[in-house]
Structure 1
Amino acid sequence: MLKTIDTHAAGEKSFMEMRYEYISMATHEFKTPITAISSSIELLETKMQLDELMLPFYKRNLSRIKEEITILSNMVDDILITGSMVAGNPVTRAELTNATAFARMIKQQYFHQRPDKRLLRIKISGTRRDIYTDKSQLTGILTNLVSNAFKYSQGQDPTLSLHYRQKELCIKVKDNGIGIPEKDIRFLFTPYFRAGNVGNREGAGLGLAIVKCFVNANNGTITVSSDTTGTVFTLTFPYAPTDNRE
C-alpha cells in the first residue's frame, strides 16, 4: 500500500514538473515577440525625435503602447512564477537587506515621475535593523502591493510605511481606494481570483498569490484589512540573525 502511495506521489510530482516545464517554455516563447515589439517601439520613438516628428498625438500613443507592453510582460512573468510555485520550484536566496534603502530604491526605480503626478509616500519609524530576505522576491512583493495601491486608489498618494519594532520589521502598504468586499478578502491570495468590485481594471489575479508565496518563503507574514476608505496590507519580517543590536 505504501509503495502504491509513493508511486502515485512520484507520478504527481512528475506531472507538476512537466507542466511547469511547458509553462516555462510557452512563456519564454511569448517573451521573444514582446521584446522585439518593445525594441521596435524604442527605435521608432528615437527616430521620430531625431527627425523632429514627435507630435503630441504620436508621443501620447507611443507611451500608451509602451505601457501596455509592460503590462503584458509583467503578466507573462507572473504566469511563469506561478508555474514555478505550483511545481514547488521557487528558490530563495536570502541576504542581509537594509529595508529602508530598499524601499527608497523601489520608489525611485518603479514609481518615479508617474504620468498622473501621484507619489509614493514613505514613512519610517523606529531604529533601523537589517532583515534577511531574497531581494528579488522582496522586489516582487513591494512592486505588486504598491502597484495595486496606485491602481485602486482614487487620486491620492499611497503610503509605504516601515516600522522597526523590537523583534520584527512591520511593513504596511496603504491605499485610499475602493476597498475590498469582506466576502472576498479570504480568497485574495488564491491564484486567478479577482475581487468582485475591480471592474475592468487590468490584471490576471496572480499578483497577490505570488506575494503570499514570496512572503512565506522569507519567513514573513501578511494580513489585509479593508473598508470603504481603502485597504492596508501588513507584512512582518524577522530581523536578520546576524544583527544582534537591541
Structure 2
Amino acid sequence: MQIRTKIAIQFTIIIAFILMIFSLAVYYTSENFRKKEFYNRLHDRGILTAQLLKELKVTEKDKKKLRDANKTILSKLNVEKVLMFNDKDELVYASYEAESFLYSPAFLKQVRQNKYVETSDWDNQLTGSVYTDENNKSYVVIAEATDIYGKEKLQNIRNTLITSFIIGITLTIILGIIFAGQSLKPITEINKEITNITAYNLKQKLTVGDNKDEIAQLANNFNQMLERLETSFELQKSFVSNASHELRTPLAAIKSEIQIALENERTNSEYKSTLKSLLTDTQRLIQLTNGLLQLAKSENRENSMAMKPTRIDELLFKAQEEVQSLNNDYKVTVDFDEIPDDDEWVTVNGNETLLLTVFTNLIDNACKYSPEHQADVKIRFNQKQCIVAVKDNGIGIPESELSKIFEPFYRTQNASTYRGHGIGLSVCRRIVDMHQGKIEAQSEEGKGSMFEVTLPHL
C-alpha cells in the first residue's frame, strides 16, 4: 500500500471519529432537550386541567366540557389521556371516555412520595404530579402523550447528521488523497533522482527545494551521506593507488637484484651480499605491509572494539622498551610534569593495542628524524584530560606542510631521504579519533617537532 493511501485512510478514520463524536453529541443533546421540554409541557397541561376542573362543578356535564376543552387546548401535544385521582386512588376525571382505565396503584404511590415523576415507554411520555387544592385535598394528575412533532424534528436532525457524515467522509477521502499526493510529491521526485545515482556519479545531488520542511531536511541528509560515501570511495581509491605504488618499489628492487644475481655466476660473498640486500628490502616490505594493515584497521570504527581502563604511563614505558629494543641507538625518556595524586588521572578508557601503536609510532618518528636519535616524552593532566607530549630536536616540519602530515602516504620534502611510507601519523590520528581525543603538531623547520595527544581520562 502506498504511503499516500495510508495517509488518506488514517486521515479519514480520524475525521470520521471526530464527526461521529460530534454527531452523537448533537443528537444526544437534542433528544434530551426534546424530552425535557415535552415533560414540562405535559406537566403544565396536567396542572392546568386540574385547575380548570377545580373552577367547575364536578358534574358529568362539566367533565364533558373540560374534555372538549382538553381536546382543543392539548391538541398540539397529541395528548392521549389526562387522568386525575383522589387520595383514595379513585378516578375523579379522565380526558377521554372509556369503559375502564388501566393504572398502577404502585405508580400513584410513587407520585405521592416524590411529588413529581417522569417516565416513558417506546412511544409515549408520561408525567405524574401531585396537585393540592384550596381545601388541602391532594390529587394525582397523570398526563400522557406522544411527542410526534418533536420526534419528527429529531428524525430530521438525525437524517441531516447522517447525510452530513457521509458527505464529510466522502470529501475527506477525496481531499485526503489529493493533499497527500501533493505533500508526498517531493518524495516521489527524490525517488526518481535516487534511481539515477550510482557508484559512478556520487557527485549528483538531490534537489533540496525550499530547504525548510522535513523533506528538504531528508534530501540534505541524503546529500551529506552521498558526500561521505564519495569521500570514503576516494579514500579507498587513494589507499589502493598509494598502497600499490608503495608496494611496487620494494618489489621492483627485489626483482632487479634477483635478475642481476642470476645473470652471471657469483662468488659466495657476492651471493651473501645480494641476500643481505634482499633481506633489507624484505624487511622494508614487511614494515610497509604492517603499516597498511594498521591503516586498514584504523578505518574500522565499529563499536565492538574492546575498551578497558588503560594506564597511559604504563603504555608509554612499553612503547619506550619496544622502540629501544628494535633500535639500540635510540634514546627515549618518559617523565611526569607532576606526580598524579589519583591513578585515574592517567587512566583512560581505551584499546591498549591501538594506543600502544600511537605512542610507538610517535616515539619512533621523533628518534628517527633527530640527529641524536632521542625523544622526550612528558605526561601531564588536568581535571578531564590526560596529555602526552612527544618532543624531538630533529629536522622539523615546514609550516606550509604542517596541515598535511596526517594525510595517508603524505611525506614532507625534507623527510624524503629517511625511511618511511607516510602511514604512521595517519594511523595515529584515526586511532586517537576513535578514543574521542585529539592529536596536534607543533614544529619549526630545523629545530624539531612536538606532537601532543590529548585523551579524556576516567
With normalisation by structure 1, the TM-score equals 0.69
Unaligned ranges ≥5, structure 1: 31-57, 241-246
* Gap change, CA 1:113 and 1:74, over 3 Å in 2: closer
Q: Secondary structure at the match of 2:374?
A: coil
Tell me which residue corresponds to 2:411: 194
Asked whether 1:119 is paired with 2:336, we answer no
- The alpha carbon displacement at 1:6 in A equals 8.4
Q: Secondary structure at the match of 1:112?
A: helix
Q: Secondary structure at the match of 2:331?
A: coil
Separation (CA, whole Å) in 1 of partners of 2:195 and 2:378:
47
* Gap change, CA 1:10 and 1:113, over 3 Å in 2: closer
Q: Counting helix residues as a fraction of each chain, which structure ranks higher? A: 2
Separation (CA, whole Å) in 1 of partners of 2:352 and 2:380:
19
* Gap change, CA 1:71 and 1:95, over 3 Å in 2: farther
1:119-141 Cα deviation digits (max 9, x unpaired):
21111234142111111210111
Q: CA RMSD in A?
A: 3.5
* Gap change, CA 1:113 and 1:75, over 3 Å in 2: closer
Q: Secondary structure at the match of 2:377?
A: strand
Asked whether 1:76 is paired with 2:289, we answer yes
Correspondences of 1:155-234 after superposition (within 5 Å): 155-227=372-444, 228-234=446-452
Task: Give the counterpart letter for 1:80 in structure 2.
Answer: L
Judge conservation of contact 2:331–2:367 (CA < 8 Å) in 1.
Answer: no
Asked whether 1:140 is paired with 2:140, we answer no
Judge conservation of contact 1:158–1:174 (CA < 8 Å) in 2.
Answer: yes
Flag the structure with more relative contact order, 1 or 2, with Cα contacts below 8 A and sequence separation at least 6. 1
Tell me which residue corresponds to 2:151: none
Judge conservation of contact 1:126–1:164 (CA < 8 Å) in 2.
Answer: no
Number of paired residues? 205
* Gap change, CA 1:202 and 1:110, over 3 Å in 2: same
Separation (CA, whole Å) in 2 of partners of 1:239 and 1:224:
21
* Gap change, CA 1:6 and 1:140, over 3 Å in 2: farther
Separation (CA, whole Å) in 2 of partners of 1:114 and 1:78:
18
1:102-159 Cα deviation digits (max 9, x unpaired):
11112123323733x3321111234142111111210111111111111101115211
Separation (CA, whole Å) in 1 of partners of 2:400 and 2:391:
20
- The alpha carbon displacement at 1:209 in A equals 0.9
Separation (CA, whole Å) in 2 of partners of 1:221 and 1:123:
21
Judge conservation of contact 1:177–1:231 (CA < 8 Å) in 2.
Answer: yes
* Gap change, CA 1:230 and 1:10, over 3 Å in 2: same
- The alpha carbon displacement at 1:65 in A equals 6.8
Asked whether 1:239 is paired with 2:450, we answer no
Task: Give the counterpart letter for 2:449 in structure 1.
Answer: T
Task: Give the counterpart letter for 1:233 in structure 2.
Answer: F
* Gap change, CA 1:197 and 1:166, over 3 Å in 2: same
Larger Rg: 2
1:150-204 Cα deviation digits (max 9, x unpaired):
1101115211211122221000111110000000001111111111111321111
